Amino acid sequence: MNQQRKILVTGGAGFIGSHTITALVSEGFTPIIADDFRNADESVPARIEKIIGYMPEFIKIDVCDKEALTHLFEQHAFEGIIHFAAYKAVGESVAFPLKYYRNNLLGLINTLELAVQFKVRNFVFSSSCTVYGEPGEIKEVTEDLPKGLAASPYGNTKIIGEELLRDVHQSTSDLHIACLRYFNPIGAHPSGMIGEFPIGKPNNLLPMVTGAAVGKYKQLTVFGDDYPTADGTCVRDYIHVMDLAAAHVKALAFLQSGTSSFETINIGTGEGTTVLKVIQVFEAISGEKLNWKFGPKRPGDVAEIFANADKANHLLNWYPKYSLEDSVHHAWNWEKKLQHD
Ligand code: WQD
């Protein structure tokens, strides 16, 4: 057994990656982070150091650079890999599909080829609920729901990524693989040291809410008010980023137990929440009156989708610990700290 329990974390300086680093260290793993900071803030390593008490090994590397990545595998014996490195903005992927296909797929293929070559046995892939496309009448999705037509090139890279991993597993059965399908990650580390660093104006709801509250953005627009939902606004499954981070560690432990070895797993709370409810929770927690208005529906938005999380609960023994209120509180705490950094 590799006594240092080294885990390669590609994209480990990003939002979910950085929080997962703290969860890995808490469980006795040694994360080795490969990130080129194209989508991450350079201050993240120092911020992580303040949480875990030491500076984890960060290598500035583009996972599309096979030579540089090979050198990393020659230097370290990895017990497992968590592959986050990918572009993830749905709208941008529609405008620049080739940028997304090249980066997201080549980065995955490089990492996977080296995992096989260097006999790394456990691989966790950052997938997404976008693989379900428009779930139609089925709001609570289970993993056996057929993958939908991807609503974007970004979503397609996740669908193709999962199929690529399935095929590699079938040809190299000693590579155990878990594809984690995230729902809507929100919040920040309770310490307020790390959180979401949106590059430019964020697409996602909660950074827009907290950004509007501190005056970064003039007003929040709620996209659509007549969806067939409780209050006419879209329903999503918002999950605390630290619960999501914990799911990665649980997935590694599951793969290392050597039982099954190709799984796709929903990581969500199993609860759906409307946009207006998120705003209401934010106003209650912050004491701020949010400046918002209704606007037209956003193309590509599905009315309602949330996870059936039974498989994650039973297979990984993973249960979310944080409430929506905790997530909004930590996101607000993070936004206010960012104002003073
Ligand atoms: C949530 C709801 C919007 C902003 C995205 C990615 C998905 C995954 C999670 C990576 C929707 C509404 C938003 C705003 C709004 N990421 N909204 N005003 O679209 O569910 O999923 O993040 O894996 O791939 O697509 O998240 O936060 O953008 O939107 O009304 O200014 O908030 O219409 O109903 P989404 P989101």
Nearest CA to ligand 1 atom 9: 184
pLDDT at 151: 75
Nearest CA to ligand 1 atom 25: 90
For a pocket test of ligand 1, which of 203, 221, 328 has the largest count of ligand atoms closer than 8 A to its C-beta? 203
Question: 158-210 pLDDT, tens per residue?
Answer: 999 999 999 999 998 789 999 999 999 999 999 999 999 888 888 899 999 99
The answer to the question of residue 230 being in a domain is no
The answer to the question of residue 36 being in a domain is yes
The answer to the question of residue 299 being in a domain is no
The CATH number of residue 247's host domain is 3.40.50.720
Name the residue range of residue 242's domain.
Answer: 6-189+238-268+308-321
The answer to the question of residue 277 being in a domain is no
When divided into structural domains, the chain yields a total of: 1
Question: 265-278 pLDDT, tens per residue?
Answer: 999 999 999 999 99
pLDDT at 330: 98
pLDDT at 214: 95
The answer to the question of residue 34 being in a domain is yes
**Predicted TM-score (pTM) of this structure:** 0.96
Nearest CA to ligand 1 atom 32: 205
Per the prediction, the chain carries an average pLDDT of: 94
pLDDT at 259: 67
The answer to the question of residue 278 being in a domain is no
The answer to the question of residue 126 being in a domain is yes
Nearest CA to ligand 1 atom 23: 128
The predicted model gives 303-307 an average pLDDT of 96
Question: How many CA atoms, within 13 angstroms, populate the side-chain half-sphere of residue 273?
Answer: 26
Q: How far is the CA of 206 from the centre of ligand 1 (A)?
A: 9
Nearest CA to ligand 1 atom 22: 184
Burial of 17 (0-12, 13-18, 19+ CB in 10 A): buried
- Ramachandran quadrant class, 262 (left: phi over 0; alpha: psi -120 to 50; beta: rest): beta
For a pocket test of ligand 1, which of 154, 180, 208, 236 has the largest count of ligand atoms closer than 8 A to its C-beta? 236
The predicted model gives 258-268 an average pLDDT of 89
Question: How many CA atoms, within 13 angstroms, populate the side-chain half-sphere of residue 126?
Answer: 26
| Total count of residues recorded for the chain | 341
Q: Which two tokens stand for residue 4?
A: 């240092």
**What DSSP string runs through 204-226?**
SHHHHHHHHHTTSSS-EEEE-S-
- Percent pLDDT > 70 in the chain is 99
pLDDT at 136: 77
CA separation for the pair 109, 224 (Å, rounded):
38
Whether 82 and 13 have beta carbons less than 8 Å apart is answered as: no
pLDDT at 299: 82
Q: How far is the CA of 302 from the centre of ligand 1 (A)?
A: 10
For a pocket test of ligand 1, which of 162, 223, 237 has the largest count of ligand atoms closer than 8 A to its C-beta? 223
Question: 130-148 pLDDT, tens per residue?
Answer: 999 887 788 999 999 888 7
pLDDT at 135: 78
pLDDT at 2: 53
pLDDT at 212: 97
Q: In ligand 1, which atom is closest to the CA atom of 186?
A: 27
Question: 32-78 pLDDT, tens per residue?
Answer: 999 999 989 999 999 999 999 999 999 999 999 999 999 999 999 99
Q: How far is the CA of 205 from the centre of ligand 1 (A)?
A: 6
pLDDT at 290: 98
Cα 179 to chain centroid distance, Å, stands at 11
The answer to the question of residue 273 being in a domain is no
pLDDT at 276: 98
Residues annotated catalytic, as ranges:
154
Q: How far is the CA of 249 from the centre of ligand 1 (A)?
A: 25
* 114-142 residues labelled b (16+ CB within 10 A) or e (exposed): bbeebebbbbbbbbbbbbbbebeeebbbe
Q: Cα angle vertex 206, ends 203, 207, to 5°? A: 60
Looking at per-residue confidence, does 21 or 261 come out higher? Answer: 21
pLDDT exceeds 80 at position 3: no
Residues with CB under 6 A from ligand 1: 88, 90, 128, 130, 182, 184, 203-205, 208, 220-223, 234, 236, 275, 298, 301
